[in-house]
Amino acid sequence: MKPPLERNPTRKRHSWWWDSHISPKNSKWLAENLEEMDKQVKEMLQLIEEDGDSFAKKAQMYYQRRPMLITHVENFYRMYRALAERYDNVTGELRKNIPTRLQSTGSLTSSECGSELQRSPSPSPEPLQEVMDKGAES
Protein backbone atom coordinates (compact mmCIF):
# COMPACT_ATOMS: atom_id res chain seq x y z
CA MET A 1 0.00 0.00 0.00
CA LYS A 2 1.37 3.40 -0.99
CA PRO A 3 1.58 6.28 1.50
CA PRO A 4 -0.98 9.07 0.86
CA LEU A 5 1.60 11.45 -0.65
CA GLU A 6 2.75 8.91 -3.22
CA ARG A 7 -0.81 8.11 -4.21
CA ASN A 8 -1.28 11.59 -5.69
CA PRO A 9 2.12 12.93 -6.84
CA THR A 10 0.52 15.73 -8.90
CA ARG A 11 -0.79 17.37 -5.73
CA LYS A 12 2.76 17.75 -4.45
CA ARG A 13 3.97 19.20 -7.77
CA HIS A 14 1.23 21.82 -7.88
CA SER A 15 0.92 22.58 -4.17
CA TRP A 16 3.14 25.66 -4.59
CA TRP A 17 0.46 27.18 -6.80
CA TRP A 18 -2.33 26.50 -4.31
CA ASP A 19 -0.28 27.55 -1.27
CA SER A 20 0.78 30.80 -2.92
CA HIS A 21 -2.87 31.83 -3.28
CA ILE A 22 -4.07 30.97 0.23
CA SER A 23 -1.79 32.62 2.75
CA PRO A 24 -2.22 35.18 5.54
CA LYS A 25 0.60 37.12 3.84
CA ASN A 26 -1.65 37.61 0.80
CA SER A 27 -4.72 38.67 2.74
CA LYS A 28 -4.82 41.62 5.10
CA TRP A 29 -8.32 40.56 6.19
CA LEU A 30 -7.13 37.06 7.11
CA ALA A 31 -4.05 38.33 8.92
CA GLU A 32 -6.16 40.79 10.95
CA ASN A 33 -8.66 38.07 11.86
CA LEU A 34 -5.92 35.70 12.96
CA GLU A 35 -4.35 38.44 15.09
CA GLU A 36 -7.73 39.22 16.68
CA MET A 37 -8.31 35.53 17.43
CA ASP A 38 -4.85 35.26 19.04
CA LYS A 39 -5.60 38.33 21.16
CA GLN A 40 -8.92 36.91 22.31
CA VAL A 41 -7.36 33.53 23.15
CA LYS A 42 -4.85 35.30 25.40
CA GLU A 43 -7.64 37.28 27.08
CA MET A 44 -9.69 34.12 27.64
CA LEU A 45 -6.71 32.31 29.12
CA GLN A 46 -6.11 35.20 31.51
CA LEU A 47 -9.75 35.08 32.59
CA ILE A 48 -9.60 31.33 33.12
CA GLU A 49 -6.16 31.05 34.73
CA GLU A 50 -6.55 33.69 37.43
CA ASP A 51 -7.28 31.80 40.59
CA GLY A 52 -9.09 32.84 43.74
CA ASP A 53 -7.82 32.16 47.24
CA SER A 54 -11.04 30.62 48.51
CA PHE A 55 -14.08 28.85 47.13
CA ALA A 56 -16.17 32.00 47.63
CA LYS A 57 -13.61 34.08 45.72
CA LYS A 58 -13.53 31.51 42.90
CA ALA A 59 -17.33 31.51 42.69
CA GLN A 60 -17.42 35.30 42.62
CA MET A 61 -14.78 35.38 39.87
CA TYR A 62 -16.74 32.78 37.87
CA TYR A 63 -19.95 34.81 37.96
CA GLN A 64 -18.12 38.03 37.12
CA ARG A 65 -16.18 36.51 34.23
CA ARG A 66 -18.84 34.24 32.79
CA PRO A 67 -20.40 37.02 30.63
CA MET A 68 -16.95 37.98 29.31
CA LEU A 69 -16.16 34.37 28.46
CA ILE A 70 -19.51 33.96 26.70
CA THR A 71 -18.80 37.13 24.71
CA HIS A 72 -15.39 35.75 23.69
CA VAL A 73 -16.90 32.43 22.62
CA GLU A 74 -19.59 34.23 20.60
CA ASN A 75 -16.89 36.36 18.95
CA PHE A 76 -14.91 33.22 18.11
CA TYR A 77 -18.00 31.68 16.60
CA ARG A 78 -18.65 34.80 14.51
CA MET A 79 -15.02 34.89 13.32
CA TYR A 80 -15.08 31.17 12.57
CA ARG A 81 -18.23 31.54 10.47
CA ALA A 82 -16.76 34.53 8.62
CA LEU A 83 -13.52 32.66 7.96
CA ALA A 84 -15.37 29.55 6.79
CA GLU A 85 -17.62 31.55 4.47
CA ARG A 86 -14.70 33.56 3.09
CA TYR A 87 -12.65 30.38 2.60
CA ASP A 88 -15.53 28.75 0.77
CA ASN A 89 -15.97 31.78 -1.49
CA VAL A 90 -12.25 32.09 -2.22
CA THR A 91 -11.73 28.41 -2.96
CA GLY A 92 -14.79 28.46 -5.20
CA GLU A 93 -13.33 31.38 -7.14
CA LEU A 94 -9.96 29.64 -7.35
CA ARG A 95 -11.62 26.47 -8.65
CA LYS A 96 -13.26 28.54 -11.39
CA ASN A 97 -9.98 30.20 -12.33
CA ILE A 98 -7.31 27.52 -11.96
CA PRO A 99 -5.90 26.19 -15.20
CA THR A 100 -7.95 23.27 -16.50
CA ARG A 101 -4.83 21.13 -16.79
CA LEU A 102 -4.45 21.33 -12.99
CA GLN A 103 -8.09 20.35 -12.53
CA SER A 104 -7.80 17.44 -14.96
CA THR A 105 -4.71 16.02 -13.22
CA GLY A 106 -6.72 15.63 -10.04
CA SER A 107 -4.28 17.72 -8.05
CA LEU A 108 -7.12 19.49 -6.26
CA THR A 109 -9.98 17.39 -5.05
CA SER A 110 -13.27 18.88 -3.93
CA SER A 111 -12.58 18.02 -0.29
CA GLU A 112 -9.21 19.75 -0.45
CA CYS A 113 -10.88 22.85 -1.86
CA GLY A 114 -13.19 23.17 1.12
CA SER A 115 -16.44 22.00 -0.43
CA GLU A 116 -17.41 20.45 2.88
CA LEU A 117 -17.94 23.92 4.31
CA GLN A 118 -21.44 25.25 4.04
CA ARG A 119 -22.18 28.92 3.57
CA SER A 120 -23.60 30.79 6.51
CA PRO A 121 -27.12 32.06 5.76
CA SER A 122 -26.77 35.00 8.14
CA PRO A 123 -23.74 37.07 9.10
CA SER A 124 -24.61 37.16 12.80
CA PRO A 125 -23.96 34.11 14.96
CA GLU A 126 -26.63 32.15 16.70
CA PRO A 127 -26.81 32.79 20.43
CA LEU A 128 -24.31 30.61 22.26
CA GLN A 129 -27.00 28.67 24.10
CA GLU A 130 -28.65 27.64 20.80
CA VAL A 131 -25.30 26.43 19.43
CA MET A 132 -24.65 24.45 22.61
CA ASP A 133 -28.16 22.97 22.52
CA LYS A 134 -27.71 21.84 18.91
CA GLY A 135 -24.40 20.21 19.80
CA ALA A 136 -26.00 18.32 22.67
CA GLU A 137 -28.80 17.02 20.41
CA SER A 138 -26.44 15.48 17.85
The mean pLDDT values, 10 residues at a time, for the chain of 138 residues are 49 53 70 87 83 81 87 89 87 79 54 42 47 48
pLDDT value for 111: 47
For the entire predicted model, the pTM comes to 0.47
Residue 14 lies in a domain: no
Residue 120 lies in a domain: yes
Structural domain that includes position 96? 28-137
Residue 36 lies in a domain: yes
pLDDT value for 23: 65
Number of domains in the chain: 1
Interior/surface letters 12-47, b for 16+ CB within 10 angstroms, e for the rest: eebeeebeeeeeeeeeeebeebeeeeeebeeebeeb
pLDDT value for 76: 87
pLDDT value for 74: 92
